[in-house]
């Protein structure tokens, strides 16, 4: 197996494993647009990295984490609906990022790679970055699993039971922001939400418990990564869109499973 395929598989699997449980919570809590907003803000991180002459990946991560915290604060403002707020921030940050990159990029940035991913260019450094991120994200998700389930089922009841709802919700948003920031290498800004949401949506129809759904989402994500990279290698298609296409096929296949009829 060529090294670039091996590195791409390892990076893709790492992102899929992290995306499984986080994507499940995104589906349960109807936070798909939240992930889209964070993904769009990543381009603003590219622009900030260029302007301040700092590592672009670090700038993207800091930008996504900062926007997640801003969203936590703004969601407490009941005057603006959450979906409206996310729509405004999503398109505003994407537009600002595109304009800033066009003005200050000076040919140093492959915008296509950031928009649609460049997984086949993954290196050992990327593998290590994904592994470190996984060692941070997965243990935190496991530690907060029950509180996260509690606030997902009923926030007010969870608060009465003594769970720090705001803290747990903020942790979830920060973890999603971190995964989105590092996963841009896999499928790019415009497609990362698909990898986060589609496997989780497919696994929802194939699972009977929250834990099963989270694990199944990671497994389906790994299958999509394998299929997408195989498709890209065989017929020379872009890796990121190929992975998302495989995710979509898996979701369509999951629809074939008959659902039990309630009586």
Q: What is the pLDDT of residues 193-229, one digit of tens each?
A: 888 899 999 998 888 899 999 999 999 999 999 999 9
Helices (H), the chain: 3-28, 32-52, 56-74, 82-104, 111-116, 124-143, 145-153, 155-160, 165-187, 192-204, 210-235, 239-254
What secondary structure does DSSP assign to 118-183, as a single string?
-GGG--HHHHHHHHHHHHHHHHHHHHTHHHHHHHHH-HHHHHHTT--HHHHHHHHHHHHHHHHHHH
Average pLDDT, the chain: 84
Residue-wise pLDDT for 6-35, tens only, equals: 898 999 999 999 999 999 998 888 887 877
DSSP 31: -
Asked if pLDDT for residue 160 goes beyond 80, the answer is yes
Residue-wise pLDDT for 50-109, tens only, equals: 777 777 778 888 888 888 888 878 776 666 677 777 788 888 888 887 787 777 666 556
Instruction: For residues 225-249, give the mean pLDDT.
Output: 89
* pLDDT score of 175: 92
């Amino acid at each position: 197996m060529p090294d670039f395929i091996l590195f791409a598989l390892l990076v893709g699997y790492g992102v899929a494993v992290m995306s499984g449980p986080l994507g499940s919570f995104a589906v349960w809590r109807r936070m798909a647009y939240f992930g889209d907003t964070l993904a769009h803000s990543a381009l603003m991180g590219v622009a900030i990295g260029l302007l301040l002459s700092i590592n672009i990946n670090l700038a993207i991560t800091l930008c996504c984490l900062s926007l997640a915290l801003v969203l936590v604060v703004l969601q407490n403002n009941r005057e603006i609906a959450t979906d409206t707020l996310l729509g405004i921030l999503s398109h505003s940050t994407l537009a600002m990022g595109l304009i800033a990159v066009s003005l200050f990029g000076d040919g140093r940035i492959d915008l296509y790679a950031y928009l649609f991913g460049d997984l086949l260019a993954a290196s050992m450094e990327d593998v290590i970055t994904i592994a470190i991120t996984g060692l941070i994200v997965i243990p935190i998700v496991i530690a907060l699993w029950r509180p996260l389930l509690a606030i997902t089922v009923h926030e007010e009841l969870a608060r009465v039971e003594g769970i720090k709802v705001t803290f747990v919700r903020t942790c979830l948003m920060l973890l999603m922001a971190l995964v989105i920031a590092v996963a841009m290498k896999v499928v790019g800004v415009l497609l990362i939400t698909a990898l986060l949401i589609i496997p989780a949506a497919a696994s929802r129809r194939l699972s009977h418990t929250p834990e099963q759904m989270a694990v199944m989402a990671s497994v389906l994500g790994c299958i999509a990564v394998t299929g997408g990279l195989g498709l890209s290698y065989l017929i020379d298609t872009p890796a990121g869109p190929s992975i998302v296409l495989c995710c979509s096929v898996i979701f369509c296949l999951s629809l074939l499973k008959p659902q039990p009829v309630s009586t």
